[in-house]
């Protein structure tokens, strides 16, 4: 009985899909949004490894089934880690803005140069 309900499977699919889609955009801000969405998706995935309707994992003597506390603990750690890293990414976006006036991830310069070569530079 630990598989989640179908509607949540769909929700997870949508979360991941949209997260990936945002990740593939040029604007770093959208990438941040994507990372956030993906973080949610992963956290929900962790949580969905447990039965849905359960009591909070507290030893209060209430009747009923307790939630599995381990995924919750891991999710908690993951939430905080994702937050820290997202913050860094935002700081980076700020730096990019300082330099470029926007927050786009530009293509690599050296790759671009090589792309434009028609002949190898060292052909004996």
Partner 1 sequence: MTILDYAYTATFVMLTLGVAFTLFRLVRGPSVLDRIICLNVISVLLVSFVAIEVALRGDVTYLGLMVTIALLGFVGPLIASRFAERRAHDRG
Partner 2 sequence: MLIFALVLHAAFAVLLPPLVRVLGARVFFVASLPPALAVLWALSQAPRIVSGRPISASVAWVPALDISLDFRVDALALAMVVLVSGIGAAIFCYSVGYFHADERGIGRLASVMVLFSGAMLGVVTTDNLFALYVFWELTSVTSFLLIGHDDRKEQARRAALQALVTTVGTGLFMLVGFILLGGIGGTFRISELVADPPTDSPWLPVALVLILVGAFAKSAQAPLHFWLPAAMVAPTPISAYLHAATMVKGGVYLVARLAPGFADVDPWRALVLTVGLATMLVGGWRALRQDDLKLLLAYGTVSQLGFLIVLGGTGTQVAAAAMIGTLLAHGFFKSTLFLTVGVIDHQTGTRSIAALTGIGRRMPVLAGAGALAAASMAGLPPLIGFVGKEAALEAFLPGHVPAPSPAAAGVMLAGLVVGSILTFAYSARFVWGAFADKETVSERRFQSPSWAFVTAPVLLSAAGLLLGVAPQAADAVAQSYAAPLPVGDKPYHLALWHGFGPTLGLTALVIAAGALLFAARRTVEQAQKALARWPEAELGYHLFVHAIYAAALSVTRRLQSGSLSVYLGVILATMLALPGVRLVAALVNGDLRLPFGSEEFRIWDSPLEGVVAVVLIVATIAVAREHRRFPALIMLGALGFGVAGLFVLHGAPDLALTLILVETLTMIILVFVLRRLPSTFNVRPNGWTKRFTVLLCSAAGTFIAVTLWLMTDARTATPISGGFAERAEEVGGRNLVNVILVDFRALDTFGEIVVLATAAVAVASLVLLNRRSRVMEQNGAETPEENGAETEDAKEGTAGPRAGIGTKEILGNDLRPDGAHQPNEGGE
Partner 3 sequence: MNLLLVIPFLVPLVGAAVTLLLRRTPRAQQAASVLVLAAVVVDAALLLAKTAGGTVATSQAGAWEAPLGITIVADALSALLVLVSSVVLLVVLLYAIGQDIGGLSRAMPQVFHPIYLVLTAGVCLSFLAGDLFNLFVGFEVMLTASYALITQAPTRARVRASMIYTVVSLTSSILFLTGVALVYGLTGTVNMADIAEKLGAAPEELRMVLALLFLVVFGIKSALVPMHFWLPDSYPVAITRISAIFAALLTKVAVYAIIRSQTLLFGRDDISAVLLWMAIATMIVGILGALVQDDINRVVAFTLVSHIGYMIFGLGLNTVAGIAGVVIYLVHHIVVQASLFLVNGLIRQYVGHTSLRAVRGLTTVSPALALFFLLPAMSLAGLPPMSGFVAKVALFKAGIEAGGWLVYLGVVAGVLTSLLTLMAIFRIWVRGFWGTPMPDMVEARAQLRSGSSRAGLRFTTAMTGVMVGVGITVAVMAGPLTDIAFTAARELLDPSAYIDAVLQKGPS
Side-chain half-sphere exposure of 74, counting CA atoms within 13 A: 13
- Cβ distance to partner 1 smaller for residue 61 or 120: 61
Q: Whole-angstrom Cα distance, residue 99 to residue 105?
A: 12
Residue in the structure block whose two tokens are 């939630």: 67
Contacts with partner 1 in 17-76 (CB under 8 A)?
55-56, 58, 60, 62
Binding mask 27-66 for partner 3 (x = CB under 8 A): -x--x---x--xx-xxx-xx-xx-----------------
Query: In angstroms, rounded to a whole number, what is the distance separating the alpha carbons of residues 17 and 34?
Result: 9
Residue 62 binds which entry of partner 3, partner 2, Na ion, none, with Cβ cut-offs from 5 to 8 Å by kind?
none
Enter the tokens of residue 94: 């700020």
Minimum separation from the CB atom of position 20 to partner 2 (A): 4
């Amino acid at each position: 009985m630990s598989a989640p309900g179908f509607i949540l499977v769909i929700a997870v699919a949508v979360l991941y899909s949209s997260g990936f889609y945002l990740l593939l955009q040029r604007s770093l801000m959208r990438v941040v949004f994507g990372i956030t969405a993906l973080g949610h998706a992963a956290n929900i995935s962790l949580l969905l490894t447990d039965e849905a309707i359960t009591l909070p994992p507290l030893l209060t003597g209430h009747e009923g089934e307790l939630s599995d506390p381990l995924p919750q603990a891991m999710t908690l750690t993951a939430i905080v880690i994702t937050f820290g890293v997202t913050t860094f990414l935002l700081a980076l976006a700020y730096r990019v803005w300082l330099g470029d006036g926007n927050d786009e991830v530009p293509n690599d310069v050296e790759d671009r140069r090589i792309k434009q070569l028609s002949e190898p530079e060292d052909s004996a």
